[in-house]
Chain A
Amino acid sequence: MINLPLLPIILPFLFAILLLFFKENIRVQRSLTLIGLLASLVAALFLVFKVKADGIQAVTLGSWPAPFGISMVSDMLAALLVTTTILLTLFIVIYSFSSIGEGRERFFYYPAILFMVTGVNGAFTTGDIFNLFVFFEVLLIASYVLIVLGGEKKQLRESIKYVLVNVISSALFVITVAFLYSVIGTLNMADISVKIAQVGQPGIITVIAILLLIVFGVKGAIFPLYFWLPGSYAAPPIPVLTLFGALLTKVGVYAIMRTYTLFFVHDIGFTHEILSVLSILTIIAGCIGALAYFDLKQIIIYNIVIAVGVILYGAAQMNESGLAGAIFYLIHDMLIKGALFLLIGIIIYVTGTSNLRKMGGLIQTHAPLGWFYLIAAFGLAGIPPLSGFVGKLLIVKGAFEAGNSWGAIILLASSLIVLLSVIRIFIYAFWGKPVAIPQTDRRPYRNMMMPAVVLVILSVLYGVGTEWLFPYMTDATNGLLQPSIYIDAVLKE
């Protein structure tokens, strides 16, 4: 199985193409999507165990020797992220069955999702900087389709802005790749790392590092570049919002982590200092947004911004605890954001509004929804047995080890604000005087609860089973801490 790293990319792609032929038949659309995602999930799990057993898996397409062909590289971090991506998409697709509506399902909703998964998995797996650009475009173009599908007034307005921001950042990505190519003369990421080490990171490489930070910062929504995110993400329907919130920004975060641990490790005092200052500012900006709104969607959307800041702050420490914490928190955040968005989607479905001031007393009619939301909220804030704890603990530990006590204290304080912002939803929506809610069907409610509840349970298991996950995370951390492992796996000879 030499091509195993490619399977989680190829399988969704293949099924997306198949789905294009059955536009009108919703039953075929749904079942093929499920089969495709399940097959990819099996392949991804195989990949994780293969990487665990045999080390980093590298495939050079077309059997060209490493720096000349395109390499696809699955290290433990990429394999774990690919698995999480497919798992989340599976739940979101099941949730979509009862919430997205037939109109959208008939117009290439599922193919667009599968194409997006192709792009996301490709971006996680690729070992070539220009190929990364191409996979970014694959996932972005699919996301343009998803964000505008349905053509509501709000969607049209926000998708124009979303597309424009991404077109500009893509152009900047091309420009940066051009600069990098002229300085280094190669596109293979392992080879770039070797060549940068040879020239010892002169000033121009640091400029390129900052340019890449701007490019991926726009995709991943870091502090001065997150302005597009709250408006755009509020426009599409909930399953699409979940997909975006859980996956898209994380691709940018992953790209920053990869480039800042593989390429730009020779002038840490400058590049990583900027990264950690920006991530602290990102956390603060996210906290302000999360407290400012009385709108369910906006509160959780600003929590995405906070999480991006937390993960990047961990990655910027460049020590073992910080990076391990960042990886733990990255996967935790994908799971818990998925769960939270699905749950608030159900709250919005039940109450018919996303305005907190118009809700109340839901615990009397929808108790399971309330309690599972509370578990997810505690998990997000990082209360010990739940999933957010270990990641944040390690990040804070890493920050103290690196001597950044102030950042660590701000990080801990931000947890309180996160908790306050999500508990406010619980207090307003579930406690208090019951408000008259529109009569809704119980069946779609039950069908939507199922994937959300399973996701919450998974995130609890993720927190409880830390011990069991630890060897995998250690492998992923080592891959980031020691670029030589990655380089040796790609440039074998």
Chain B
Amino acid sequence: MEFVMAIVIGILFMAAVYLILSRSLLKVILGTGLLSHGAHLLILTMGGLGGTSPPVLADGVTDYADPLPQALILTAIVISFGVTAVILVLAYRAYAVHKTDNMNLLKGNDEHD
């Protein structure tokens, strides 16, 4: 099972890298979304997919799923949710000011603004 998950996560990372290297800002943001999905699935997988019961104490159950990766994922999910919200608003503002979503055109320095 871990093997299949590893391949799926690899494909997610591949798609994420491809999208992040693209020119349109929205595609880049979609890429970061896929990247965080991949990272979260990877925590789940690397914790081991053993254990038949959810990590809730119950009578007579001894084989629990590892609760630690689930807590880590939950933390990472809300953090990446917050950051994604920030970056989406940022992209919206940048579009309003710069009138472009083409990453190649978003350049310049102090001397040539």
Contacts and interface: CB of A to CB of B under 8 A. Distances in A.
B97 A153 contact: yes
Contacts, number: 104
B15 interface: no
Nearest to A161: B106
A160 B91 contact: yes
A159 to B, nearest CB: 6
Given A163-B87, A168-B20, A234-B110, A157 B82 contact: no
B14 interface: no
Contacts of A99: none
A331 interface: no
A212 to B, nearest CB: 15
Contacts of A177: 43, 72
B50 to A, nearest CB: 12
Contacts of B113: 153-154
Interface in A286-317: 295, 297-298
Contact of B43 (A157, A159, A174): A174
Contacts of A178: 39, 42-43, 45-47, 69
B108 A355 contact: no
B28 to A, nearest CB: 6
Q: Number of contact residues on B: which range applies?
A: 35 or more
B61 interface: no
Interface residues of A, number: 36
A300 to B, nearest CB: 13
Contact of B87 (A167, A179, A354): A167
Contacts of B43: 174, 177-178, 181
A171 interface: yes
A156 interface: yes
Nearest to A167: B32
A163 B90 contact: yes
Contacts of B23: none
Contacts of B38: 171, 175
A297 B87 CA distance: 26
Given A171-B32, A174-B39, A234-B110, A182 B47 contact: yes
Contact of B93 (A156, A161, A298): A156
A295 B86 contact: no
Contacts of B87: 160, 163-164, 167
B79 A137 contact: yes
Nearest to B94: A156
A143 to B, nearest CB: 11
A233 to B, nearest CB: 12
A38 B78 CA distance: 32
Nearest to A134: B75
Nearest to A154: B113
Interface in B29-50: 32, 35-36, 38-40, 42-43, 45-48
A130 B72 contact: yes
Interface string B62-85: 000000110010011001101100
A179 B2 CA distance: 13
B98 to A, nearest CB: 7
B79 A182 contact: no
Contacts of A133: 76
A231 interface: yes
A64 B92 CA distance: 45
A374 interface: no
Interface in A209-245: 231, 234
A151 interface: yes
Nearest to B106: A157
Given A163-B90, A175-B42, A157 B32 contact: no
B52 interface: no
B59 interface: no
A133 B25 CA distance: 26
A141 interface: yes
Given A144-B86, A156-B90, A177-B43, A182 B48 contact: yes
Which 6 A/B pairs are nearest by Cβ-Cβ distance? A182-B46, A178-B46, A174-B39, A178-B43, A156-B94, A171-B39
Interface of A: 130, 133-134, 137, 141, 144, 148, 151, 153-154, 156-157, 159-161, 163-164, 167-168, 170-171, 174-175, 177-179, 181-182, 187, 231, 234, 295, 297-298, 354-355
Given A167-B36, A174-B36, A354-B110, 18 more contacts: A130-B75, A141-B86, A151-B93, A156-B97, A157-B107, A159-B90, A160-B25, A160-B90, A160-B94, A163-B86, A163-B87, A164-B32, A171-B36, A171-B38, A174-B39, A175-B42, A177-B72, A178-B45
13 contacts: A144-B86, A148-B90, A157-B106, A160-B91, A160-B106, A170-B79, A171-B39, A174-B39, A178-B46, A181-B43, A182-B47, A295-B110, A297-B110
